[in-house]
Amino acid sequence: MARVVVVGSINMDLVTETDTFPRLGETLFGKRFAQYPGGKGANQAVAAARLGAEVTMIGCVGADAFGDAMKAMLVNEGVDTRWVSTGREATGIAAITLSAGDNAIVVVPGANHELSPADVDRAEQAFHDADVVLAQLEVPLATVRHAARVAHAYGKPFFLNPAPAVALPDELLELTTLLTPNEHELATALQTHGADWKAVLQRMPGRIAMTHGKDGAYYTTDDGDLQHQPGFAVQAVDTTGAGDTFNGALAAFWHLGVAEAMRRANAAGALSVTRAGAQGGMPTLSELERFLT
């Protein structure tokens, strides 16, 4: 069983469906409301845990009902929440309005932005015990960089899913064992807009696994060979969370070698799009094994 440490965000997604978007100053009745667990960190932690990894989450929530609900959800998924701290700000939320196939989203990071290098230091034992450390960019960059340093100090692989995309500082890039962007995030993270992404991957052999939607994923072997792990053909219902599922799965299966880990991460990503919701679609290990046989 792989031991995965996730350093990242924990949000509650608040989803309202309406016939039209409200105009400025207007109040209207919505059709439906639901809340779903979210945040890239929590999503990736759940994806890895469902696939059998022993997962420890390092994050920060508020002292409020959403924070309590998110911690309870993580515990229920088997994630170790000992290092989820409680900040002064409210638990992060995403207020999502859906109307006629469009969406409008406001994200309030709240307590996620209080996750500090000291929180990472407090969880040092988890780094010591980890097989893989996985992070995204919904918590402060200084904290992500510190996590990369601590992972490096313990000789642990550090995976960075550079989402939401920003230009990555050189030191963080150097400390990253494997970068896991989609095509757009690759260009922004490495500032290679306009360049052929295949050439970019070949410039960093063994260091990037790039997802490419239903086409699957790509990486370059240590000797510069561009490899394609094809996606699995499925009936897509909701692609939300496909990237998070891929990342959690990649960390959970990393011990099987890059090609097999990517094949399984593609399968997990494909299964996730056949069901609604980010975490709602994430497969269990037995579902994945059934799908692959």
CB of 186 to ligand ATP, least distance (A): 11
Given candidates 55, 242, 251, 258, which one binds ligand ATP under the rule CB under 6 A?
242
By the rule CB under 6 A, 116 interacts with ligand ATP? no
Given candidates 213, 227, 275, 285, which one binds ligand ATP under the rule CB under 6 A?
213
Q: 237 - beta bridge partners?
A: none
First CA to last CA distance, the chain: 21
110: left (phi over 0), alpha (psi -120 to 50) or beta: left
Interface size with ligand ATP, residues (CB under 6 A): 22
CB of 209 to ligand ATP, least distance (A): 9
* Nearest residue to ligand ATP, scored by beta-carbon proximity: 243
By the rule CB under 6 A, 288 interacts with ligand ATP? no
Distance CA 41, CA 47 (A): 10
CB of 241 to ligand ATP, least distance (A): 5
208, 179 in Cβ contact below 8 A? yes
CB nearer to ligand ATP: pick between 62 and 241? 241
CB of 110 to ligand ATP, least distance (A): 21
Q: Which stretch binds ligand ATP (CB under 6 A): 27-35, 138-146, 196-204, 210-218?
A: 210-218
Give ∠ CA 280-263-250 in degrees, rounded to 5.
60
Is residue 222 part of the annotated active site? The answer reads: no
Given candidates 112, 143, 211, 220, which one binds ligand ATP under the rule CB under 6 A?
211
Given candidates 85, 112, 182, 279, which one binds ligand ATP under the rule CB under 6 A?
182
By the rule CB under 6 A, 275 interacts with ligand ATP? no
By the rule CB under 6 A, 38 interacts with ligand ATP? no
By the rule CB under 6 A, 44 interacts with ligand ATP? no
By the rule CB under 6 A, 243 interacts with ligand ATP? yes
Backbone phi, then psi, for 170, in 5-degree steps?
Answer: -55, -45
CB of 57 to ligand ATP, least distance (A): 19
Distance CA 89, CA 92 (A): 8
Cα distances (Å, whole numbers) of residue 292 to 68, 215, 249, 276, 286: 36, 17, 14, 21, 10
Residue 21 CB contacts under 8 Å (≥ 6 apart), including other chains: 97, 99, 102, 104
Distance CA 245, CA 161 (A): 12
By the rule CB under 6 A, 48 interacts with ligand ATP? no
Token pair listed for 218: 């790509």
Residues with catalytic roles:
244
